[in-house]
Structure 1
Amino acid sequence: MTTNVAYCPALFLTAPASNQGKTTITAALARYFTEQGKVVRVFKTGPDYLDPQILAQASKQPVEQLDIWMAGDEYCQKMLFDAAQEADLILVEGAMGMFDGEPSSADLAARFKIPVAIVMDVQGMAQTAAAVATGLANFRDDVIVAGLIANRCGSERHAQLIRDALPKNLPLLISLKRNDEVTLPERHLGLVQASEVGDELEACFSAAVRWLSETEDTSLLTLPEPIAFYAPEVAPQADVGTPLQGKTIAVAKDEAFSFIYDANLRVLQALGAQVTFFSPLRDRLLPPADALWLPGGYPELHAQKLSENRVMSDQIQTFFAANKPILAECGGLLYCLETLTDLEHNTYPMLGLIQGDGAMRGKRGCQGMQTAALPEGDIRAHAHHRSLSENTPEPLSHGRRQRHPAPGEPIFRDKGLTASYLHLFFASNFAATAALFLGESE
């Protein structure tokens, strides 16, 4: 018997700012309850690729990105409803500060009535932490706040000062001591990919479970009350059909190219495509395919090896010359340029499908939500990179920024190749995605 409502305990972890410990604590809770035999489904607010990899390993379950602007309200609703039917607990990790962005973490929590736990690094403050948490909790009346998580608490006395200063309707859910063992490894774009540090992550997770268990506050270590998640009235973009039926799309996937939404793969499969994977780093043969997808990742860390795999480069160049569809996103764009200069200022030849040179630029970069304006139709997307591309040709168009009139990322097209710094979210426009991989535009 089908039903349009599912009940599941849920908690939304947010914070007053970035770098408060949200990912560490979300991962710790996911692993803690997983070890209790619970099925924990975790979601990440926004377009992040790296945090979901960490959270997926912690929960031993797939992790989805949720963003109302990027994915649409019905899509987010369906993801949560589907998870609620199989999970014992749903955790959602917010992005940036609680009210930052449009839509914000608070908007997502309010829309689906998920109780919020405020994660705060309380090092260097006590009663002030209570004041900040109280302000966040009362800033909007449509957000349900479950309580405060005091991270990097110095002592039980420190925790007691915070606890006593909080109003009765805003409890201290847990106080967590400073512990370097639970710190997750990072690099220039954020956390290190889970696949690169699997054993190190497991050590972090084990330490994190002990870290949670050492606290005297135990309310966070029991499942919250179930809440209702409803099925969307209309399945998102269910009327597009299967225009990619009989088509094979080869997707680059290895240490250099790994920024791949599982949701994007599902969209391609729902459109009828067969998806296959290959490694530009190691493979010598490009698999038989009708289209290629070169996603983002860290080509700058593997530029020499990519450059030396001339057999693969030759095959991709031949594929391009045959005017077959290729989508290159961010790191994929860098791979398609003539050269790439890495973080050590070494320059290597790349595919040369597009005129231009890519170079890393330290801590400077670009990030933000944009719409990819394509002849096939608009596809929601985001940019996050710390590199630049120079000497490139005139672009086909530019991304439209979410909240700023300045032109966004340039979008290049030559033959069947579409390349940009933008990471596309296919579920925002099934029809345009299908046309992109068919090489058809009006």
Structure 2
Amino acid sequence: MSLKKETAAMIDALSNIGADPTGGMTRLLYTDSWKEAQLYVEKQLQDNGLATHFDAVGNLFGRLTGSKYPDETILSGSHIDTVVNGGTLDGQFGVAAAVLAIKYLKETYGQPLRSLEVISMAEEEGSRFPTVFWGSKNFVGEAQAEDVQAEDVQDIADFEGRPFVEEMHRQGFDFRDAKEAVRKDIKAFVEIHIEQGSVLEKEQLQIGVVNNIAGQKRYTFVLKGQANHAGTTPMGYRHDAVYGFADICKTVIDRGLALGDPLVVTFGKVEPKPNTVNVVPGEVLFTMDCRHTDGQVLDSFTAEAESLIKEIAEAHGLTVEMDLWMDERPVPMDENIVTIIEKAVKASGKNYKVMHSGAGHDSQIIAPHFPTAMLFVPSIDGISHNPAEATHIDDLTAGVEVLAAALYELAYQE
């Protein structure tokens, strides 16, 4: 079977596990469909002659031991969970691509010098429980029962009230032992992913070589003015929270446009109160999401935005409350691995560009611990987290080919 047919077949098989009756996929952490998908991947790994095991929380590994440097491991993979009613590529393509790339290398070149390993991570999306990156955080030792950073999973439950811990135990998993040492054998981690944006497609490129994952700051603001009668309150006497928000929105976005790429700023959630046709709105809750690949630029822009928001609120006779609830720093990829991936793309003759990722990925958790890099394949119309998520099979196959070439350089060459 050709690599193209193998890629299509594995994506199709995985996509049937957790297929949503309304379209797309829903495969959430510690559900039965999630476990079924991990067992399916385990069988593919075993059928290809790799030794498999699960860690405490449900991350799956498949290992092909190296002949000369067995204690040096080259790792590839992604996450197996999905968002609710999501697409068929986000996460699982990276798992399938790693399985197929290592299968190809084993069949073509035999045993590598360094060990090759696939990881199918338990969770990244945060779609079932209020926790994210559960798989990768456990892999790098940032989460265990006694010291869970950012989330207390001991007391959380899903949207139907099922406790996290009970569901984890139901599937046969448990917390990572806090005394367990973090692995020291990982020499490189390479994650392949759909772009989830439209840059590659618009520029008619097959591969994106990722050199940085953008930092993010997320805020919630509450503007407070005075609700009043829409007919009897003259325009000049109003403390209109929506008018103030509109001024804020335009001013901050205009500053972002002036600064230019790769900065992005988004006002994604807006809730006016009382949200009634004949009442001047007295309050607006809104969010602001800012991202940039340079931490200093991100800090500078958001500091300016905070100051502008306060000034504009005051000018409109409003008060403002601010909550900065996410502050993730940019994560650069390993320069050496980026160079290896770029070399592999050039050798293949495929069109590519070096680019940053505006979205978060498991790689941003792993990169501070192990040398890490990513590569992207195009997303049709830039759509993701949606049943319409798709990538042409030729582009998926090209991604597997480049991943295999990069893993060859890392695992088979001195």
What band does the TM-score fall into relative to the shorter chain? under 0.3
Higher normalized helix content (fraction of residues) = 2
Q: TM-score, normalised by structure 1?
A: 0.25
- Which structure's relative contact order is higher, taking Cα pairs within 8 Å and 6+ residues apart? 2
